[in-house]
Amino acid sequence: MNKIRVFISSVQNEFSEERQMLFNYLISDSLLGLFFEPFIFEKIPAVEHSVSKVYLGEVERCSIYIGLFGLTYGYEDAEGISPTEREFDYASRLHKTRLIFITNHKETERNRKELALIRKAEGVVLRKSFASMTDLKASVYTSLVRYLEEKEFIRTSPFDATLNKEATLDDIDSQKIRDFVALARSKRNFPLSDNAPITTILTHLNLLHGKQLSNAAILLFGKLPQNFFLSSHIKCAHFHGTEITKPIPSYQTYKGDVFQLVNQAVDFILSKIDLEVGDRSQSTEIDTNYEIPSAAIAEAVVNAVAHRDYSSNASVQVMLFSDRLEIWNPGQLPYGLTTDKLKKPHSSIPANLLLAEPMYLSGYIERIGTGTGDIVNWCKNAGLPREPEFVQEEFFKVIIWRKGHNNTSTGQATGQATGQAAGQAADDVLRSIQKLVLILGKSTKRDELQDALGLKGRDNFMKNYLNPAIEEAYVEMIYPNTPRHPEQAYRLTQKGIELKELLLKSKNV
């Protein structure tokens, strides 16, 4: 077969050693050398043609453009454009696969035009930073192997489809599977009954081959998935300012299957952000909305869990700051899909197909590629100050900007109505109590309260919302002497009614 042409571009005087290293590496590596033919301008013979035309001709011949961007911008032509930028623009116009590797320097250290070129590239291509030649070589290797896999020049078993040699059916929670089937039947008309044998259900989902379970089966329905995959947890942190600082005011590491991870992370975020209250001018019902649309939060978390790289030792991270929410996952966009394209309708290319399918069947995700676009639209319609951002670096990041905060009136209401409770409960629990009080009607069941607040985890709801509200005498049971009464519901006490009125005046919790 013809080898795949790789054009290695950079400012001539800045990366001479790196270019030569990559050239030698690509022709000598036992795997990459079979598939790739690199080109660097040091190897060009003396020619009569314009050098710039020769380089652009090489860009046209290549299938992959590798750009090394650093501190300097280099020689500028009569229009003030460097050859490197010309080559990048031409590769973009011809829709070549572009891999950009950027030195690990601060923005203030870079030439102004070089920084502008980097920012141009950020929106349309995959990019990674590097600090050394070893770092660069490893990143180029990973990117080119992924290219070969996605173009099906080589085939390796995806992580989620790999059969786990250590797991047995005893490691699977059968009740989780039955709960999944019941949900999938109601959401997507799943064809099997929850009474079907567990092995039949797992086989139907391509999660069981003979007696061997796939990694996806453990992540979806395992009793203790983290016993097999240590980094498959989610880390959630809440910072009062705009930077990562220690000590961290609120920090949780959540474990469990992928459904539990999503539920716990979403509930963590919702418990920390404001709940806005309407004026009831059009209805007797209280109109409440989170400052960040809960659907956008759930979509971002689900994407992080479903599409992350589970072979990585890193974990999904959720960080809530005073001005933004950031959700990180150790993963890479598929070739051809860029951060700009994520904001528009695009094909759905799940990184973990066997993991994504059951999450689709249970209603957690859609398979038509609208999720990231929906995040943008939901946030725009909610009047958030900036459009959500999607960033591909070592981690894939979703950044959702929060509205400005002014909690003076809320704090006054809390001080008047909660009294001694402020000294007995953490601020986060007080905020959760207020949200519960705000949406509670004359008599409301637990599951109805959870639905109204957009919360999935029963244990989290009981621990952080309902039990503290009862302990602090804002809420009471309809059947206090029979806590497990089948018709059990909850209502506000007089103390709760007074707090609710104060909160409605403040408009924000």
| The predicted structure's pLDDT at residue 290 | 92
| The predicted structure's pLDDT at residue 478 | 94
Q: Is the pLDDT of residue 462 over 60?
A: yes
User: What confidence tier does 370 reach under pLDDT thresholds 50, 70, 90?
Assistant: confident
- Tell me the H-state helices in 94-239: 112-122, 133-150, 174-188, 198-204, 215-221
For domain 408-506, give the fold. Arc Repressor Mutant, subunit A (1.10.10)
For domain 234-401, give the fold. Heat Shock Protein 90 (3.30.565)
Comma-separated ranges of CATH 3.30.565.60 domains in the chain: 234-401
Using CB atoms within 10 A of its CB, is residue 280 exposed (0-12), middle (13-18) or buried (19+)? exposed
- pLDDT per residue as tens digits for the range 9-68: 998 788 999 999 999 999 988 889 999 999 998 766 545 445 677 888 899 999 999 999
Contact call for residues 373 and 345 (beta carbons, < 8 A): yes
User: Which comes out higher in pLDDT, residue 431 or 384?
Assistant: 384
Q: Is the pLDDT of residue 273 over 90?
A: yes
What is residue 210's DSSP assignment?
T
Q: Is the pLDDT of residue 414 over 50?
A: no
Distance CA 142, CA 158 (A): 15
Only one residue has tokens 């004359």, namely 442
In sequence order, the β-bridge partners of residue 320 are 238, 325
What's the token pair of residue 243?
Answer: 């930077």
Distance CA 301, CA 309 (A): 14
CA angle 258–384–413, rounded 5-degree value: 90
User: What confidence tier does 507 reach under pLDDT thresholds 50, 70, 90?
Assistant: low
Mean pLDDT highest for which of 164-173, 275-284, 408-417? 164-173
What's the token pair of residue 356?
Answer: 């994504």
Contact call for residues 292 and 273 (beta carbons, < 8 A): yes
| The predicted structure's pLDDT at residue 403 | 86
Distance CA 130, CA 414 (A): 50
What is residue 172's DSSP assignment?
B
Distance CA 202, CA 191 (A): 13
Spatial neighbors of 47 by CB under 8 A, at least 6 apart, are 54
**CATH number given to 4-150:** 3.40.50.450
Q: Would you give the end-to-end CA distance of the chain in angstroms?
A: 64
Helix or strand (DSSP H, E) at 355: helix 353-361
| The predicted structure's pLDDT at residue 9 | 92
Distance CA 316, CA 66 (A): 29
Q: Is the pLDDT of residue 473 over 90?
A: yes
Contact call for residues 86 and 52 (beta carbons, < 8 A): yes
User: What confidence tier does 228 reach under pLDDT thresholds 50, 70, 90?
Assistant: very high
Distance CA 204, CA 207 (A): 8
Phi-psi region of 181 (alpha: psi -120 to 50; beta: other; left: phi over 0): alpha
Only one residue has tokens 């704090």, namely 411
Comma-separated ranges of CATH 3.40.50.450 domains in the chain: 4-150
CA angle 184–187–188, rounded 5-degree value: 75
Mean pLDDT (the chain) is: 87
Spatial neighbors of 61 by CB under 8 A, at least 6 apart, are 5, 7
Comma-separated ranges of CATH 1.10.10 domains in the chain: 408-506
Short-list 350, 327, 324, 325, CA closest to 396: 327
Short-list 179, 268, 176, CA closest to 455: 268
- pLDDT per residue as tens digits for the range 92-143: 999 999 999 999 889 999 999 999 999 888 876 767 788 888 888 988 988 8
Spatial neighbors of 30 by CB under 8 A, at least 6 apart, are none
Of the listed ranges 224-238, 267-281, 297-311, 416-430, the least confidently predicted one is: 416-430
Distance CA 188, CA 205 (A): 14
User: What confidence tier does 409 reach under pLDDT thresholds 50, 70, 90?
Assistant: very low
Other beta carbons within 10 angstroms of residue 15's beta carbon come to 23
Taking the CA atoms of residue 10, residue 13, residue 16 and residue 18 in that order, the dihedral angle to the nearest 10 degrees is -50
- pLDDT per residue as tens digits for the range 481-496: 999 999 999 999 999 9
- pLDDT per residue as tens digits for the range 191-218: 999 899 999 999 999 999 989 999 999 9
Secondary structure, 3-state, 243-259:
CCCCCCCEEEEECCCHH
What is residue 54's DSSP assignment?
H
Q: Is the pLDDT of residue 281 over 50?
A: no
Helix, strand, coil % in the chain, rounded to nearest 5: 45, 15, 40
